Amino acid sequence: MLETIRTVHARGVWMEIVTLVVPGFNDSPEELRAAAEFIASVSPDIPWHVTAFHADYRRLDGEQRTPAGTLQRARRLGLEAGLRYVYSGNVWLGDGNAERTDCPGCGVALVERSWFTVRRVAIVDGKCPKCGVRAPGIWS
């Protein structure tokens, strides 16, 4: 999978990576840091979504839901690793920053979300309207 991520990025295909964070399986700081560092080594502009696990469908065996604090830690580790776009999902954190896309140049909010709803998009012609820095992604 890691080589596929490198290959897809090298070919110029837009991708975002989602990690379902499962308590007791892949939620250690070491594993989350390693994932973030790998993604950042490919490109700091690849969005990383860290999402909460909850018992559902075929996994009703008592696994606990991913705590909000674990996702906050994963987001912090991703940002510390150099990723510019790290989003927490599938749990309410009460922190609009975890769902917002900020300009890497000036920090202005470019996309504001709430759960699965996009509240506002301020990107103009693929760029920040304030400083003109290109916002990675597909905007048309």
Query: Which superfamily does CATH assign the domain made up of 2-93 to?
Result: Aldolase class I (3.20.20.70)
Tokens describing residue 108: 């202005």
Assessment of whether the complete model's pTM goes beyond 0.85: yes
Our CA dihedral for 66, 110, 8, 51, rounded to 10 degrees, sits at 10
Mean pLDDT of all residues in 35-45? 98
pLDDT tens digits along 73-121: 999 999 999 999 998 877 766 666 677 889 989 999 999 887 778 889 9
The pLDDT value recorded for residue 38 is 98
CA 140 → CA 51, 77, 93, 110, distances in Å? 26, 31, 30, 15
Where in the chain do CATH 3.20.20.70 domains reside? 2-93
Query: What is residue 90's predicted lDDT score, i.e. its pLDDT?
Result: 77
